[in-house]
Amino acid sequence: MERTTQPATPLVGLMQDDHPLTVASILRRARGINGHRTVSTFHGNGLTRTTYAEIGNRIDRLAAALDSLGVRPGDRVATLLWNRQEHLEAYLGVPSMGAVLHTLNLRLFPDQLRYIIRHARDRVMIVDDTLVPLLKPFVDDIADVVEHFIVVGDGPVDGLPNTVHRYDGLLDDADSGTYAFPEITDDRSAAALCYTSGTTGNPKGVLYSHRSTVLHAIAECMADAFGIAGSDTVLPVVPMFHANAWGLPYSASLVGANQVLPGRFLQAEPLARLIEQERVTVAAGVPTIWMDLLRYADEHEPDLSSLRIVPCGGAAVPRVLQEGFEHRHGVRVVQAWGMTETSPLGAVAHPPHDVAGEEAWAYRTRAGQISPLLDARIVDVDGSALPWDGESTGELEIRGPWIAAGYYEDPSGADKFRDGWLRTGDVVSIDRRGFMRITDRAKDVIKSGGEWISSVELENELMAHPSVREAAVIAKPDERWTERPLPCVVLDQGAEEIGPNELAAFLSGRVARWWEPDEYAFIPEIPKTSVGKFDKKALRALLVDGQLDAARRQVA
Ligand code: AMP
């Protein structure tokens, strides 16, 4: 007998799908059953230590104070703060009020900060006393937007308008029982706002929702990501203004891990001391931070044995860095990939279970395996999808529950999104197992004789040279080949005798013959962006202005 098929009507699940995923629920758990776990802030001469329970009490008073200043659901509350306890209070407290936490990058130029604050229309700003001078150049231009400044610490506040409050004073005056947190019933409502450090045009706002924040926090706690657990002690070296410190304050709070916040002390020596004293198990930051720490550790042999995992990303993580930590200090550095627009975790480079040795390194030096629940595709210039064969190279597009769907009130960024996908601007290949190799940022690729040269790969190979401290490769115009690679190299102190010929000999056999640079620029320092990455835009400007001329040396 033939079976008749009915038109398909999906059966609706009978689960509490409307139960919202909110930052408030992260806070509830942290201050409740994990109330005894600690949050410590380093101040240079010592730590202040508190618990999630106490942070919860202070958040009650912070919320009452902000409410009395007129902060309502949907309002933006800016922070201009280092990684410290008060910043975590704002992280958990502001979204729990239904308001939006807006983290300002303190390394931006005054013009960019002015633009961002006005664009976001921040009604209140919580600012570190040491950072008040940053506001001076433009404080009059934001006076019609920012109604209240709340200063953390008791340093001078000269130059701020008279609507200044002291953070601790506000909390002392506030009554912890008076503010009734609203029910956040729709978890798609905004929780936090972070502007991209944008290399072209104005900075663009990424507006995270409660739901995206919670799902991202869970994803970060998965064993194949960073496996953050209640037993961990997490040190976010990555600033809380850089893509929400990669979401770590939320994932650590979600599971009740201890947090160690380094304040403004991001140099190798205090970081090593913090790791040693606090028995840190997870410490995360960009490669430049860990390169410095590795040099320090080689010299001073601090006890880093508590470290279980060092998530590292934001830029390609050189193999020498991973190997140096692993072989000489027993510390596992794990590469991850992400963007402000992706919350930021999008890929993690744990090698698959069935590989070892060199094969494992081949995976660990890639940007990572696309994270669960995210879809990725590679597209070529005309927009057609390319296969995941580990060879085909094109722009990475990504979508998923913690990926931006658009920029905050900025139609000029619309071309970064297409058919529900985020166009990342990263040029990648992906293999069958979902491991992604980044060849370049689209704007950094070097086009030579109609083919692409990967600046990232050249940099990695050069940084494997024992005397090369840093290497950033940019394109230089070339009549015959259109462009050729120009490595800008910083040598270790005392290694100044190393010249272009030695580097050329070192690269020979490590990269394709036609990739080999015909000249090098030896410079004292590579300019860095506001989030500590190589600033190739600045290097290109130096090249165009002729400022690299004296440093350029031809291979014989
Ligand atoms: P941002 O939004 O400032 O964090 O910058 C995001 C960009 O950093 C990405 O689009 C990549 O170009 C770069 N990036 C992040 N992680 C990695 C990585 N592991 N390897 C290479 N580039 C990376």
282-284 and 233-236 as β-strands: parallel, antiparallel, unpaired?
parallel
Residue 444: pLDDT band (50, 70, 90) is confident
Catalytic residue among 196, 281, 340, 529: 196
**Residue minimizing CA distance to atom 15 of ligand 1:** 314
pLDDT at residue number 321: 95
pLDDT at 5: 64
Block residue for tokens 């992906």: 430
Best residue among 339, 345, 428, 435 to mutate for probing ligand 1's pocket (most ligand atoms within 8 Å of CB) is: 339
**Residue owning the nearest CA to atom 6 of ligand 1:** 339
Distance of CA 392 to the CA centre of its chain: 27
pLDDT at 452: 82
Residue 428: phi, psi to the nearest 5? Answer: -140, 165
Say how far apart CA 263 and CA 48 lie, in whole Å. Answer: 11
Tell me what pLDDT residue 383 has. Answer: 87
- Mean pLDDT of all residues in 400-404: 98
The pLDDT assigned to 512 comes to: 87
Q: Which tokens go with 178?
A: 């008076």
Residue closest via CA to ligand 1's atom 7 equals 339
pLDDT of 80 above 90: yes
| Rounded Cα–Cα distance for residues 285 and 508 (Å) | 32
Residue-wise pLDDT for 294-305, tens only, equals 999 999 999 999
pLDDT, position 86: 98
At 341-377, the pLDDT tens digits run 999 999 999 999 999 999 999 999 999 999 999 999 9
Of the residues 226, 312, 335, 337, which should be mutated to test ligand 1's pocket, given the most ligand atoms within 8 Å of the CB?
337
CATH 3.30.300.30 is held by the domain 444-554: yes
Q: How far apart are CA 80 and CA 543, in angstroms?
A: 33
Q: What is d(CA 42, CA 275) in angstroms, rounded to the nearest whole number?
A: 11
| DSSP symbol at 325 | H
Q: Compute the distance from residue 336 Cα to the ligand 1 centre, in Å.
A: 9
Confidence class of residue 265 from pLDDT cuts 50, 70 and 90? very high
- Which ligand 1 atom sits closest to the C-alpha of 335? 19
User: Which tokens is 89 given?
Assistant: 């209070």
Give the mean pLDDT of the chain.
95
pLDDT at position 3 is 64
- Taking the centre of ligand 1 as the mean of its atom positions, its distance from the CA of residue 287, in whole angstroms, is 11
The two tokens of residue 423 are 């166009």
SS3 245: helix
- Nearest ligand 1 atom to the CA of 196 is 2
Residues whose CB falls within 8 Å of the CB of residue 143, separated by 6 or more in sequence, listed in order: 161
Predicted pLDDT of residue 200? 63
* 156 C-alpha to ligand 1 centroid (Å): 37
- Nearest ligand 1 atom to the CA of 340 is 2
Residue 144 has pLDDT above 80, yes or no: yes
Burial letters 269-287, b for 16+ CB under 10 A, else e: eebbebbeebebbbbbbbb
Q: Rounded to the nearest whole angstrom, what is the distance from the C-alpha of residue 337 to the centroid of ligand 1?
A: 6
Rg for the chain, CA atoms, rounded: 24
What secondary structure letter does DSSP report for 181? P
Residue 443 annotated as catalytic:
no
What local confidence, expressed as pLDDT, does residue 130 receive? 96
Distance 315 CA to ligand 1 centre (A): 5
pLDDT one-digit tens code per residue, 500-511 = 999 999 999 999
Residues 6 or more apart in contact with residue 338 via CB below 8 angstroms: 243, 246, 313, 314, 344, 345, 346, 347
Question: E-assigned strands of 177-238?
Answer: 190-195, 205-209, 233-236
Distance 313 CA to ligand 1 centre (A): 7
Burial class (CB in 10 A: 0-12, 13-18, 19+), 18: exposed
**Active-site pick, 38, 199, 447, 483:** 447
Tokens found for residue 91: 């992280």
The residue to which tokens 């090369």 are assigned: 468
Say how many Å lie between the CA of residue 344 and the centre of ligand 1: 9
User: CA 170 from chain center: how many Å?
Assistant: 31
Name, in order, each residue with C-beta under 8 angstroms of 243's C-beta and a sequence gap of 6 or more.
194, 338, 339, 340, 343, 344
Cα 189 to Cα 212: distance, rounded to the nearest angstrom: 10
Burial class (CB in 10 A: 0-12, 13-18, 19+), 5: exposed
Residue 529 CA: nearest ligand 1 atom is 3
Which of the pair, 304 or 534, is modelled with greater confidence? 304
Whether the pTM exceeds 0.75: the reply is yes
Question: Candidates 422, 438, 445, 455: which one to mutate for ligand 1, based on the most atoms within 8 Å of Cβ?
Answer: 438
- Distance (Å, whole) CA 5 – CA 21: 38
Q: Whose CA is nearest to atom 5 of ligand 1?
A: 339
* 157 Cα: distance to centroid of ligand 1 (angstroms): 36
Mean per-residue pLDDT for 15-34?
98
Nearest CA to ligand 1 atom 1: 339
Q: Is the dihedral of CA 112, 114, 120, 122 positive or negative?
A: positive
The fraction of the chain above a pLDDT of 70, given in percent, is 98
**Contact between 551 and 474 (Cβ < 8 Å):** no
Show Cβ contacts of residue 487 under 8 Å, excluding neighbours closer than 6 positions.
Answer: 458, 459, 462, 471, 472, 473, 503, 517, 520, 521
Mean pLDDT of 138-157: 96
Q: Which atom of ligand 1 is nearest to the CA of 341?
A: 2
Does 447 participate in catalysis according to the annotation?
Answer: yes
Question: Closest residue (by CA) to atom 20 of ligand 1?
Answer: 316
Q: What is the pLDDT of residue 110?
A: 93
Which residue is catalytic, options 452, 483, 502, 537? 452
pLDDT at 291 over 90: yes
The maximal CA–CA distance of the chain, rounded, in angstroms, is 88
Residues with C-beta less than 6 Å from any ligand 1 atom: 196-197, 243, 313-317, 335, 337-340, 344, 367, 424-426, 438, 441, 531
Q: Which two tokens stand for residue 121?
A: 């229309």
- C-alpha span between 384 and 152 (Å, rounded): 51
104-113 pLDDT tens trace: 999 888 999 9
The ligand 1 atom nearest the CA atom of 242? 4
> CA of 180: how far to CAs of 59, 64, 68, 183, 290, in Å?
12, 8, 12, 9, 43
Are 93 and 100 in contact, with CB atoms under 8 Å apart? no
**What ranges do the domains of the chain cover?**
18-211, 444-554
Compute φ and ψ for 372, nearest 5 degrees: -55, 150
Q: How far does residue 373's CA lie from ligand 1's centre (Å)? A: 20
pLDDT for the residue numbered 443? 81
**Catalytic entry in 341, 459, 461, 470:** 341
Cβ-proximal residues to 496 (8 Å cutoff; 6+ apart), any chain: none
- 3-class DSSP state of 110: helix
pLDDT band with cut points at 50, 70 and 90 for residue 547: very high
Judge whether 141 and 118 are in contact, CB under 8 Å.
yes
Q: How far apart are CA 276 and CA 331, in angstroms?
A: 13
CATH class (in words) of the domain with range 18-211: alpha beta
Ligand 1, residues 426, 459, 463: which to mutate, most atoms within 8 A of Cβ? 426
**Stretch 50-63: mean pLDDT, rounded?**
98
Specify whether 196 is catalytic.
Answer: yes
126: closest CA among 31, 36, 62, 214?
A: 62
The 10s digit of each residue's pLDDT in 252-262 is 999 999 999 99
Q: How far apart are CA 143 and CA 123, in angstroms?
A: 10
Across the range 419-440, mean pLDDT stands at: 95
User: What angle do helix axes 500-507 and 455-463 make, rounded to 10 degrees?
Assistant: 110
Tell me the pLDDT tens digit for each residue of 188-236. Answer: 999 999 999 665 678 999 999 999 999 999 999 999 999 999 999 999 9
What are the beta bridge partners of residue 102?
78, 193
Q: What angle do CA 132, 138, 140 make, to 5 degrees?
A: 100
Task: Report the pLDDT value the prediction gives residue 474, as an integer from 0 to 100.
Answer: 95
Residue 176: pLDDT band with limits 50, 70, 90: confident
Give the residue-averaged pLDDT of 87-92: 99
Q: Tell how far the Cα of 338 is from the centroid of ligand 1, in angstroms.
A: 5
Give the contacts of 128 (CB within 8 A, at least 6 positions apart): 80, 81, 82, 84, 151, 152, 153
**Closest by CA position to 66, among listed 91, 99, 92:** 99
Is pLDDT of 281 > 70? Answer: yes
Asked whether residue 1 carries a pLDDT value surpassing 70, the answer given is: no
Q: Per mean pLDDT, which range of 311-315, 352-356, 532-536 is the poorest?
A: 532-536
Instruction: Using the predicted structure, report yes or no on whether residue 14 has a pLDDT greater than 80.
Output: yes
Look at ligand 1, atom 23, and give the residue with the nearest C-alpha: 315
Residue 204 falls in the annotated catalytic set: no
